[in-house]
């Protein structure tokens, strides 16, 4: 059996190692040259057949294809594989087929990383072992041997991952919210909604669909599942979420609903939620200097995520750092929230021209050439009792490796500026 792994990033490394241990011959294809893949190649098992750059002949002799999440599901190479009758799968699809534990899958446009981490904390307060993964943190396929039938496995599932799943039956499928995102890849909002619905569409009558009844689009998915419906927005009592923002209360309610499914008491659930410290790059408090709190919300890679952050500091004078890579976003609601919730805006990145025009009614909009300049400008515009918020509302690829790189650079620049 020869398996082709398309993409040499984290998912591809996990696949190559797992398939090699399973006795399969592994070929790895990536468009990037070897000079850009040295670290990934060093983590691959011995004997891997690397095909880099040119796709020609890469499918010859292959029995099955596994695509990394960053590879579009309709990529020509994958379509060519299907035309040859080859099965096209993914790391997360293979994991779900082999996982012996009870799987909780969490998806949504915004909040899924925080909710996944928080759900792991809540379930960890019970008696069963817990593993957290998927689109958050480490890959899970390379931890498969650790999982027993007694495990809870909590997975953050992106639309890219859901798209790659053959039969995604989850014991509990959680859908937090759905607003337009990744339409450059999925084409239409309807297609994006269909992918999110896969988290509950394959469930059985003994499984659970944990839904947000306050979200109109999510509410409309209730008829598309046979699972037991749980409306997490109706959870009582209200959990004591320690992080700012109404959206984080929704995240806590979703995690609490999963805790109840697991048979935990409200007291146990609430104690676990109170202990939660948050997730890096999601409204992460970097620190407070001269009475100004600095927050890293680099994970806000679309305007709806940016709106969530802006609603988290009612009454505080906010200096917003925004802008980045992307196009096609509907900006009217984001602009309205920025006008209402911020005292000043510092714009960076490829979308700065567009955003400056969209915010022409704002009394204080400043441009910065890079993140270092943006931090210095924001420091000068902030005042005691206020907040400086990096919440770009755009993706990071114009200036950074990814949103984590953007957030880490921001934190380093802030701490350097204010270090004693």
Residue 128: give its domain's CATH number.
3.40.1190.10
Domain that holds residue 254: 99-274
CATH of the domain at 336: 3.90.190.20
Q: Report which of residues 72 and 243 the model is more confident about.
A: 72
Q: Do 70 and 110 belong to one domain?
A: no
DSSP lists the bridge partners of residue 346 as: 321, 366
pLDDT band at 184 (very low <50, low <70, confident <90, very high): low
Number of Cβ within a 10 Å radius of residue 76 = 9
C-alpha span between 370 and 411 (Å, rounded): 14
C-alpha span between 48 and 29 (Å, rounded): 10
pLDDT at 372: 97
pLDDT at 183: 61
For residue 311, is pLDDT > 80? Answer: yes
Q: Do 351 and 398 belong to one domain?
A: yes
pLDDT band at 3 (very low <50, low <70, confident <90, very high): very high
Residues in the chain: 420
Average pLDDT on 201-225 reads 96
Q: Do 216 and 310 belong to one domain?
A: no
pLDDT at 304: 87
pLDDT at 70: 82
Rounded to the nearest angstrom, the gap between the alpha carbon of residue 224 and the centroid of all alpha carbons in its chain is: 24
Query: pLDDT digits over 333-356, tens only?
Result: 999 999 999 999 999 999 999 999
| Domain boundary, last residue among 90, 125, 153 | 90
C-alpha span between 120 and 103 (Å, rounded): 11
Mean pLDDT value across the chain: 93
Q: Do 241 and 175 belong to one domain?
A: yes
CATH of the domain at 13: 3.40.50.720
Q: Do 263 and 302 belong to one domain?
A: no
C-alpha span between 262 and 126 (Å, rounded): 8
For residue 380, is pLDDT > 80? Answer: yes
For residue 420, is pLDDT > 60? Answer: no
pLDDT at 110: 85
Query: pLDDT digits over 261-302, tens only?
Result: 999 999 999 999 999 988 889 889 999 999 999 999 999 998
The answer as to whether 229 is a domain residue is yes
Q: Do 164 and 247 belong to one domain?
A: yes
Nearest partner of 302 among 120, 158, 116, judged by Cα: 158
| Domain boundary, last residue among 274, 307, 323 | 274
For residue 248, is pLDDT > 90? Answer: no
Question: How large a percentage of the chain has pLDDT more than 70?
Answer: 97
The answer as to whether 279 is a domain residue is no
The answer as to whether 27 is a domain residue is yes
Q: Report which of residues 294 and 69 the model is more confident about.
A: 294
pLDDT band at 243 (very low <50, low <70, confident <90, very high): confident
Q: Do 145 and 265 belong to one domain?
A: yes
Count: domains in the chain: 3
Query: pLDDT digits over 131-175, tens only?
Result: 998 876 668 898 999 999 999 999 999 988 999 998 888 999 999
For residue 179, is pLDDT > 90? Answer: no
Annotate 210-234 with DSSP letters as a single string: EE-TTSHHHHTTGGG--SEEEEGGG
Annotate 26-39 with DSSP letters as a single string: EEEEESS-GGG-HH
Per-range mean pLDDT, top range of 7-11, 205-209, 283-287:
205-209
Q: Do 7 and 27 belong to one domain?
A: yes
pLDDT at 323: 97
Spatial contact of 283 and 244, defined as CB atoms under 8 Å apart: yes
Annotate 130-186 with DSSP letters as a single string: EEEEESSSS-SGGGGGG--TT-EEEEE--HHHHHT-SS---SEEEE-------HHHH
- pTM, entire model: 0.77
């Amino acid at each position: 059996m020869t398996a082709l792994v398309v993409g040499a990033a984290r998912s591809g490394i996990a696949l190559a190692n797992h398939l090699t241990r399973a006795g399969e011959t592994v070929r790895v294809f990536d468009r990037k040259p070897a000079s850009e893949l040295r670290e990934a190649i060093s983590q691959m098992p011995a004997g891997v057949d690397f095909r880099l750059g040119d796709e020609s002949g890469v499918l010859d002799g292959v029995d099955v294809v596994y695509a990394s999440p960053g590879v579009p599901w309709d990529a020509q190479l994958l379509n060519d594989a299907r035309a040859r009758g080859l099965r096209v799968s993914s790391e997360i699809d293979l994991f779900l087929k082999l996982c012996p534990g009870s799987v909780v899958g969490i998806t949504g446009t915004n909040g899924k990383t925080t909710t996944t981490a928080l759900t792991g904390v809540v379930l960890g307060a019970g008696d069963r072992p817990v593993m957290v993964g998927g689109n958050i943190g480490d890959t899970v396929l390379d931890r498969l041997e650790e999982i027993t039938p007694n495990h809870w496995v909590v997975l953050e599932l992106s639309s890219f991952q859901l798209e790659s799943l053959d039969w995604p039956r989850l014991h509990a499928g959680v859908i937090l919210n759905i607003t337009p995102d990744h339409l450059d890849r999925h084409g239409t909002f309807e297609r994006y909604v269909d992918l999110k619905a896969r988290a509950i569409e394959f469930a059985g009558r003994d499984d659970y669909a944990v839904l947000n009844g306050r979200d109109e689009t999510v509410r409309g998915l209730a008829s598309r599942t046979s699972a037991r419906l749980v409306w997490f927005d109706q959870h009582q009592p209200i959990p004591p979420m320690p992080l700012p923002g109404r959206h984080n209360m929704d995240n806590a309610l979703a995690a609490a609903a999963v805790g109840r499914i697991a048979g935990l008491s409200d007291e146990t659930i609430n104690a676990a939620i109170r202990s939660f410290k948050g997730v890096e790059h999601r409204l992460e408090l970097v620190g407070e200097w001269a009475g100004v709190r600095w927050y890293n919300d680099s994970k806000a890679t679309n305007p709806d995520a940016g709106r969530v952050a802006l609603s988290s500091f009612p009454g505080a004078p906010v200096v917003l750092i925004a802008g980045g890579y992307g196009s096609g976003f509907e900006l009217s609601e984001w602009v309205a929230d920025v006008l209402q919730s911020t005292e000043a805006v510092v714009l960076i990145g490829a979308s700065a021209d567009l955003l400056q025009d969209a915010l022409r009614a704002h009394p204080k909009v400043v441009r910065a050439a890079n993140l270092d300049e943006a931090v210095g400008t924001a420091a000068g515009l902030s005042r005691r009792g206020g907040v400086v918020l990096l919440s770009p509302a755009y993706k990071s690829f114009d200036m950074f490796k990814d949103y984590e790189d953007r957030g880490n650079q921001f934190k380093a620049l802030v701490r350097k500026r204010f270090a004693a």
